Structure 1
Amino acid sequence: MEFKMKEVGFQTNFEYGELHVAGDAAYGFRPYQLLVSSIAVCSGGVLRKVLEKKRLHVEDMTIRADVTRNEKEANRVEAIHLHFIIKGENLAEDKVAKSLEVARKNCSMIRSVEGCIRITETFELVK
């Protein structure tokens, strides 16, 4: 990866397109937003695959991420709570809970920040 300095922030190109990153949201995505997005979407993607392997059909999934930051320590991210709202037919709570445990063990982004950022997860099933 290569990041080029702009007047405010940095810019890079990936297969999908151009990414602008800056401390000021008026000029690009903020670094903490990308960190939280990576963790949430990685976890959700792995959870979706685990549920599919168990032949549990998910019609829709929304992930809410609540972030706790510590202003006294450079505004570092200390905790992220992921709440999954999962829509599907015949989804058993115990199977989804077990699938979430498996997803956590196989999400590379969560595994990368273990011990540094406290990550908790909850879910609700909707019809």
Structure 2
Amino acid sequence: MTNHITTTWLGGMKFESNNPSGKTLTIDAGPESGGEGDGLRPKALMLSALAGCSGLDVASLIKKMKLEVDDFKIDTIANLTEEHPKYYDSVIVEYHFYGANLKEDKLKKAVDLSVEKYCGVMEMFRKFAKLDIQIFYHTK
């Protein structure tokens, strides 16, 4: 299976990129780089893709395992190298689960399955960055 994405220049530093879902997103540089700050930044989008990919896995597993989770978020904190081309050499991925009845062992299993088996974006990140996976349980 291949993905074909078209990214079209809209002038200045702004681009529009399509997606197989039929949706589009705008990419733009910040004013410090000659853009208007009207869109998402490419490197930050990579972190959104990482969290989104793993988040979809975990959400699916929460449903399959019939776990009670009131809320769930993923924070990604990435270190960018100093030299050009700048890239992420290390990324902390924090999984935050909120609820009164959190089954920590099963939630950990869901995260582990995503990180080690299902999330293709995580596998891509492994090729160039050190990953630090952390899980936090917030009981109400």
State the identity %: 22
Shift of 1:106: 0.5
1:106 to 118, 128, 138: 118
**Corresponding residue number in structure 2 for 1:70:** 81
Letter of the structure 2 residue corresponding to residue 106 of structure 1: Y
RMSD between superposed Cα atoms in Å? 1.9
Shift of 1:16: 5.3
- Over 3 Å counting, the alpha-carbon distance change for 1:99 and 1:17 in structure 2 is closer
Letter of the structure 1 residue corresponding to residue 129 of structure 2: I
Shift of 1:66: 0.8
Q: Give the SS at the match of 1:72.
A: coil
Runs of at least 5 residues in structure 1 that lack an aligned partner in the other structure: none
C-alpha separation between the residues in 2 aligned to 1:102 and 1:89?
23
TM-score, normalised on structure 1? 0.86
Q: Is it true that 1:61 corresponds to 2:65 in the alignment?
A: no
The size of the alignment, in residue pairs, is 127
Shift of 1:87: 1.4
2:15 to 10, 16, 21: 10
C-alpha separation between the residues in 2 aligned to 1:85 and 1:18?
28
- Over 3 Å counting, the alpha-carbon distance change for 1:2 and 1:51 in structure 2 is same
Residues 37-92 of structure 1: CA deviation (Å, up to 9, x unaligned): 00011111211211221111221112111111101242211121111111134322
Alpha carbons 2:69, 2:101 under 8 Å: kept = no
Q: Give the SS at the match of 1:23.
A: coil
Q: Is it true that 1:34 corresponds to 2:45 in the alignment?
A: yes
Letter of the structure 2 residue corresponding to residue 86 of structure 1: F
2:129 to 108, 117, 127: 117
Runs of at least 5 residues in structure 2 that lack an aligned partner in the other structure: 31-35
TM-score, normalised on structure 2? 0.79
